Chains A and B, each alone.
Chain A
Amino acid sequence: MNGAEAIIESLKREKVDLVFGYPGGAVLTLYDAVYKMKFPHILTRHEQGAVHAADGYARITGKVGVCFATSGPGATNLITGIATAYMDSIPLVCITGQVGTSLIGKDSFQEADMSGITTPITKHNYLVKRVEDLPRVLKEAFFIASTGRPGPVVIDVAKDVFAAELEYEYPESVELKGYTGLFLGDSDEIEAASQAMQMSRKPVIFVGGGVVLADMADEIRSFVKKTGIPVVSSLMGMGVMPSKDGCYLGMVGMHGTYTANMAVMQSDLLIGIGVRFDDRVTGIVEQFAPKAKKIHFDVDAAEINKNVVVDYRVCGDIRRTLPIFCKKVLRIKQDWRSHLLPWRAYLDKMKERYPLTYDAKDGEILAQHVIEMVSDYAKDDAIIVTDVGQHQMWTAQFYNFRHSRSFLTSGGLGTMGYGLPAAIGAKLAQPHRQVILFTGDGSLMMNCQELATAADNDIEVKIVLLNNGVLGMVSQWQRMFYGERYSQSQLKTKLDFIKLADAMGVKGMRVTEEDELDTAIHRMLATEGTVLLEVVVPPKENVLPMVAAGKPLNEMVLGAEE
Chain B
Amino acid sequence: MTELPATSTRKLGLVIDLDTCVGCHACVISCKGWNTENYGAPLSDQDPYGGDPSGTFLNRVHSYEVLPDTGPAQLVHVPKSCLHCEDAPCVTVCPTGASYKRVEDGIVLVNETDCIGCGLCAWACPYGARELDAAEGVMKKCTLCVDRIYNQNLPEVDREPACVRTCPANARHFGDLADPDSAVSRLVVARGGMDLMPEQGTRPVNKYLPPRQRDAWADTSVLAPFLTPVAEEPRGFLGWLDKALDKL
Are A and B genuine complex partners?
A: no
Q: Which residues of B contact A (CB under 8 A)?
A: none
Which residues of A does B touch, CB under 8 Å?
none
